[in-house]
Structures are given as structure tokens and as C-alpha cells.
Structure 1
Amino acid sequence: IEDKEEKVSRYRGLLACLPSVNRATVKALISHLYCVQCFSDMNQMNTHNLAIVFGLTLFQTDGQDYKAGHVVEDLINHYVVMFSVDEEELRKQQEEVTAIAKMRVADTASGTQKAEAKQHIKIPASSMTAEELTLEILDCRNVSIREKDYWTCFEVNERKETERPLHFSEKVLPILHGLGIDSYLVVKKYQSMEAMLLYLASHVGETKHGMMKFREDRSVMGLGLGLPSGGFQDRYFSLNSSCLRLYKEIWSQRPWSGASETSHRPEKEWPMKSLKVYLGVKKKLRPPICRGFTMVHETKKQEKQQWYLCCEAQMELPEWFATFLFVQHDGLVWPSEPSRVSRVVPEVRMGSVSLIPLGNENEMRRSVAAFAADPLSLLRNV
């Protein structure tokens, strides 16, 4: 077929006839080849060279002609149209490949590529927890864990100047998928954990209340609480097993009844399970005290609201944070016994061919669907 539009239309029709799993696999493969040829000035693999290599590999032919190569060239050249790839998806793929190329050049120039390769950690999809990742990294670096050493994995955001110690049971892979360009994970000692555990051991119940400095994030339009602009304000907070409440004035009780004043309604309240609490506040906001939190609340409409809290006394910060963790994770703040269960899937081979262990059909379809939606997501922020 000589006419370009007719040829593309015919290809799209054939691809539409494929089962969704097969079509997603073809798209992922051609997406990779398309990205490779975009950097042909560096790797010498233009569309024609890729077609020569992959034509005979992808199609069962006798090798007597170049028909298979022509098909591969067509799929690469018309990848955007055939698979309805929008500009945002295409830009994202090319940026990620560019980042990988820069990383490899930097590693080669510094002579650390071989050493770094030994430090790679395999993260099994949807299974490795923050605790397991921490132990794997400590093992790789031959770091022994001493008594009262509280090593953990932190999510760090350089732009916001915040960090969040991951709970030991949190799955690592979804967090990696959601990290922005200013964020990364780091394993280090959690210096405040011992004080937090001592506080929880001596503290009765799962409540806390007290005064803190408060400021809302006015960059989120329409979410203001009517506070004067430009600074932190004194607010009274009350935390229980279900929510965190903010009061404009001190929450009081009637001494003769022990019941709270029903007319004293909170100015704002947030469900505890929907809050993410980060340690630190941006210096740009000029917090009155360096000890503070950045709190993020995600609504059902995927809208994010953000606030900043600062504690007056030095011990208030770990006490508040310990109570947050205690409530959000049903009292399990730190594991009683370290988990050293290895989740590395052994390689299975048949002769010289490596086999990929697969689960049932539904698991396979979910895996391929996720890969098709974001085939390069594992390489984000490299």
C-alpha cells in the first residue's frame, strides 16, 4: 500500500483486532524502539537499523526478503498515530530516556558505574515494604544494626524542605511511582524514634491536644480559612482516634459535667486516615519556630489541601508525630521483630532461555495493563 493514510488506517485496524494484552505488549515494545531511534545520533540505532535487528526477531520469516523490516519501520515511524499517543505522554517518555542517558554518561565519566551496579536493589512489584527495603540496603552496605538503632526509609522533598519517615509496612513501589522530580527516598537513622516510643509507652489513650502555630497554604485557591494573610496564627488542636480538629480558641470543658461545650465547634477538622504528615516547613514561609510539620490532606476529588504547624516546645514535635503515627497505624509504630524475609524471585531457565514467572490470568492482565498505561514509570526521576 503506497498511500500513507490508507497504510496507517490498515495497521490500526489490524492492531484493534488484537486482544488487549497483546496490543499493550506491542505498544510497549514499539514505544521503546521509538525512543531508541530518537537518540540515533548517540546510539547509531536509527529506524532502519532497528528494523534489521528486530524484523527477523519479531516475525517468523525465512529471511529471504525485507518485508518484516518494512513492517517494523512502519510501526516505528507511525507509532504516534497508530497508538494514539498524545503529546504529554510522548514528552514524558523522551524526558525519562534523556535522564537515563545523562546518568549513564555521568557514571562512565566518574568511573563509578561498576561500583553502583553492585548497589542496585530489586523491588518486586507491589510486595516490598519500607522495612524490607531498609534491611536490604543495610545488608548491601554491610551495616550492622545495633540495639536502639532505628533505621528507616524517608521520603524527602528538597523543594518543600520536608521529609516523611515511611511506616515500616508501607509498600515502596507505589511511593516511587508518585515521587516528583524534587523527591527521593533515603535510608538513615531515625533519631527521634526512641523518644517517640518512650512517650507512647507512658501515654494513656490515643489523644493529644494543645496550642500550635498554624498557617494555611494560600497557593491552593478556594481553600482559605479566613486567616489574616502573611503569617502563622495561634490555634488550638485536638487529636483523637478519628480526626484532627482545629479551634480558634482553647477548647474547654465544663468542670461540673466533664463534657465539652457543644456550642464550641471546631473551625476545621480532618479525618486522620486521609492525612499525610511531613516533618519540616519551608524556610520561605518564615516559620516562627524551626520545629514544624507540613500536613497534606487529599480530598475524594483528588484535590490536595496543605497546612503548616509549628510547635513551641522541643519535645512537642516528636510527641505529636508519635500520636499521629499511633492513630493512623492502629498502634503499630515500630515492628517488634525485624523482618528478613527475602522476596527476590529466583530466575527460572529452560535451557538457555530465561522464563518470567507469571501468576494467574487476572494478575497477568493487571500487570500488563499497568505497564501499558505507564511503561517507563519505573525509571522516573533517574
Structure 2
Amino acid sequence: IEDEEEKVSKYQELQARLPPVNRATVKALISHLYCVQCFSDTNQMNTHNLAIVFGPTLFQTDGQDYKAGRVVEDLISHYVVVFRVDEEELRKQWEEITAIVKMRVAGTASGTQHAGDFICTVYLEEKAAETEQHIKVPASMTAEELTMEILDRRNVGIREKDYWTCFEVNEREEAERPLHFAEKVLPILHGLGTDSYLVVKKHQSMEAMMLYLASRVGDTKHGMMKFREDRSLLGLGLPSGGFHDRYFILNRSCLRLYKEVRSHRPEKEWPIKSLKVYLGVKKKLRPPTCWGFTVVHETEKHEKQQWYLCCDTQMELREWFATFLFVQHDGLVWPSEPSRVSRVAPEVRLGSVSLIPLRGNENEMRRSVAAFAADPLSLLRNV
């Protein structure tokens, strides 16, 4: 086909016929080659040279003619039109590759360039073009260090009780997870999907959670929550089932689910260290309350399982989430530097005893809750 417009139209038609995964793979590869040729003055790899190298490899030819190379050259030259790349996506690609080149040049000049560094986009407070920052993330960088670097770049001062935190946001699941301050960022970045990103913002619930942790007794949490398992109907990817009342016990080793308070054997049990807890439940599941969280468990075979839990009140949600953080990170919920920790409130108690005893083993706690549900005054008769 000699006519350029007709040729581009044909390429668009052909790539649209590809399965989604193959189409995304081709776009990612051509996008990379497009970025490479943008810096041909430096790397000597213009469109023609790239086509010579990648044409025979991609199309499995013997390289005796230039047909395969011509296709690759066309795809690179017409990348923006063929793959319908908008200005925002193109601008972001250009800024990222420019940032990489600048950092590499600076690192080479100073002798501080490290292998394994990763360039990522992080937003401040909200996802918007004017709030994004391109950050070099070495393997050793923690969520706290990333947060501090973003705030320093934007000259944001930290006041008392400002709990600035880096969040992992999953737009598809409509959920977000505040990263623990000591959590390494690089593994998180490698696991992010196309619908996820990192944003630095204030953790609005952290002060309330810290107060709760300071006043609580023991290191376990138990109670009723609405529960739904993420299952597919007949393998079609359609959600099945609804939310049901279940009794949960969370301790330092695991999260256990019981059908009811009086049950002796858990229906499910998950090791606490392997769980990722996200605030929020996607609306299409019709959660019974707006105070829910999504729990993700990755098995030894790297298979992901997902559950949705809903609390009756915002206070309950904060208490559960605070306990998750506490037991997962051995009590280190927030860094101990004076500039980043608010004053801890004194222990708060209503009267001389708790309405429901919080000490004791799990069987004793279940019996206490069951007795209280049957006769709320029974626990107070001997007081």
C-alpha cells in the first residue's frame, strides 16, 4: 500500500483485531522503540536502525528482505496515530524518559548512579497533571523516605498531627492502602497494575487510630462484620453471592472467620503477615455500609484471593484497620520521630470495667460476647 493514510488505516484495523493482551504487548514494545528513536542523536538508534534489528526478530524472518523491517518502521513512525495515543499519554512518556536521561547523566557525572533504580510517577494529594512528580526509587527506599522527598520537593511543611502517608490507590477496586512507613517502595511499584498509582496525602484517620491503640487492652480484635468472598460465577467473571454476617477474631498470627459467635471451628483462617488490607469496597458489589475494606491474600502459588468486609460504623472500621497495622508490624504503626508523632492520649475507660472483657483466650472471648448478646446485664450483676 503506497498511500500513507490508507496504510495507517489498515494498521489500525489489524491491531484492533488482536486479542487484548497481544495488542497491549505490541503497543508497549512500539512505545518503547518510539521513545528510543526520540533520542537517536545520543544513542544512534533511529527508526531505520531499530527496524533492522527488531523486524526479523518480531516476524521470525530470515532477514533477506526488508518487509518485516518496513512494518516496524511504519509502526514506529506512525505510533501516535496507529495506537491512538493522546497528548496526555505522550507528554507523560516524554517527561519520564527525559527524567531518566537527566538522572543518568547526573549520576554518571557524580559517580552515584546505582543499578536497579526505578523511575515512577507519584502524585501529591490527588491524581492530576499539576501534582505529579517523577521520582527515582532505589531498592532501599521506604514509603516514609518517598513521602519526605515528595513533600520536600513541593516545599510542604509538616505540622504537628500531620500524618503524611504514601497510599497505593487501586482505581478499579475503588480502594486504597496506606503503605507502612518502613515498607519498601520498589516491590510495590513492580506489582502495580495499569489502574493503580501512588499518591502522598494526609492520613485522616491516623490520629484516631493512634488514640485507639493507646487506650486498648490486649493485642486482639473480635466482632461481627459483613463478609463477602470474591468468586466468579461459572468462570464468567461475574460476581456471585452477597454480604453475610460473620464473626471475626484477629490476633498476632491470623485472621479467623466463624459462621457465628458460638462456633468453635473457624470456616476460614488466613495468616496475618500475608494479607494486604485496602480501605474501601467497590460500589458495584453493593456493600451494606460505606465503612468497608478489601482484604487480599496471595497464596504460595502466587494466586490472589480477595474478600470484602464491612463495618457498621466508621469507628469500627478504624479500630479494625488499626489492629491490622498493629499486629502486622509488631506494634510499630508510626515512626517515633518527635516531628511525626502526635501526643498520645491517656488511657480512656468507661467506669471500672469493660462491658465485654477483652482479656482471655479466644474461647473465653466468644463466650463473653455470646453471653452479652443473650443478656446484656448479666456481666454487670456482680459489679
Whether TM exceeds 0.5 here: the answer is yes
Supply the distance in 1 between the matched residues of 2:133 and 2:300 (Cα, whole angstroms). 39
Q: Using the TM superposition, give the Cα deviation of residue 168 of structure 1 relative to its aligned residue in structure 2, in angstroms.
A: 0.6
For 1:281, the equivalent position in structure 2 comes to 281
Q: Using the TM superposition, give the Cα deviation of residue 77 of structure 1 relative to its aligned residue in structure 2, in angstroms.
A: 3.1
For 2:223, the equivalent position in structure 1 comes to 210
Supply the distance in 2 between the matched residues of 1:117 and 1:320 (Cα, whole angstroms). 32
1:249 aligns with 2:260: yes
For 1:177, the equivalent position in structure 2 comes to 190
For 1:136, the equivalent position in structure 2 comes to 149
Equivalent in 177, 180, 183 of residue 164 of structure 1:
177
* 8 A Cα contact 1:34 1:76, kept in partner: no
For 1:120, the equivalent position in structure 2 comes to 134
* Per-residue Cα deviation, 1:183-235 (whole angstroms, up to 9, x for no partner): 1111100010011111111122210100001111112879xxxxx95321110
Q: Which amino acid aligns with 1:78?
A: P
Equivalent in 166, 180, 186 of residue 153 of structure 1:
166
* 8 A Cα contact 2:291 2:310, kept in partner: yes
* Per-residue Cα deviation, 1:279-316 (whole angstroms, up to 9, x for no partner): 00111111110000111111111111111100112211
For 2:292, the equivalent position in structure 1 comes to 292
For 2:330, the equivalent position in structure 1 comes to 330
Q: Which has the higher contact order (CA 8 A, sep 6+)?
A: 1
Seq. identity, %:
69
Supply the distance in 2 between the matched residues of 1:167 and 1:220 (Cα, whole angstroms). 35
Q: Using the TM superposition, give the Cα deviation of residue 165 of structure 1 relative to its aligned residue in structure 2, in angstroms.
A: 0.3
TM-score w.r.t. structure 2 length?
Answer: 0.58
1:36 aligns with 2:36: no
SS of 1:249's partner is coil
Supply the distance in 1 between the matched residues of 2:298 and 2:132 (Cα, whole angstroms). 38
Supply the distance in 2 between the matched residues of 1:108 and 1:74 (Cα, whole angstroms). 24
For 1:234, the equivalent position in structure 2 comes to 245
Rate the CA distance shift 1:100–1:271 in 2: closer, same or farther, 3 A. Answer: farther
Correspondence 1:19-34 to 2 at 5 A: none
Correspondence 1:186-197 to 2 at 5 A: 186-197=199-210
Q: Which amino acid aligns with 1:121?
A: I
* 8 A Cα contact 1:281 1:294, kept in partner: yes
Equivalent in 29, 52, 57 of residue 79 of structure 1:
57
SS of 1:120's partner is strand
Supply the distance in 2 between the matched residues of 1:321 and 1:204 (Cα, whole angstroms). 16
Rate the CA distance shift 1:72–1:229 in 2: closer, same or farther, 3 A. Answer: closer
* 8 A Cα contact 2:147 2:200, kept in partner: yes
* 8 A Cα contact 1:296 1:306, kept in partner: yes
Supply the distance in 1 between the matched residues of 2:251 and 2:227 (Cα, whole angstroms). 19
Aligned residues: 262
Rate the CA distance shift 1:203–1:75 in 2: closer, same or farther, 3 A. Answer: same
4+ residue runs of structure 1 moved beyond 6 angstroms? 31-34, 37-40, 70-73, 98-101, 113-118
Q: Using the TM superposition, give the Cα deviation of residue 181 of structure 1 relative to its aligned residue in structure 2, in angstroms.
A: 1.1
Rate the CA distance shift 1:78–1:216 in 2: closer, same or farther, 3 A. Answer: same
Runs of at least 5 residues in structure 1 that lack an aligned partner in the other structure? 1-30, 56-69, 83-89, 223-227, 253-263, 341-382
Q: Which amino acid aligns with 1:134?
A: T
SS of 1:281's partner is coil
Q: Using the TM superposition, give the Cα deviation of residue 38 of structure 1 relative to its aligned residue in structure 2, in angstroms.
A: 9.7
Rate the CA distance shift 1:117–1:323 in 2: closer, same or farther, 3 A. Answer: closer
* 8 A Cα contact 2:243 2:288, kept in partner: yes
Supply the distance in 1 between the matched residues of 2:310 and 2:31 (Cα, whole angstroms). 50
SS of 2:245's partner is strand
Runs of at least 5 residues in structure 2 that lack an aligned partner in the other structure? 1-27, 61-71, 100-128, 341-383
Q: Using the TM superposition, give the Cα deviation of residue 36 of structure 1 relative to its aligned residue in structure 2, in angstroms.
A: 2.8
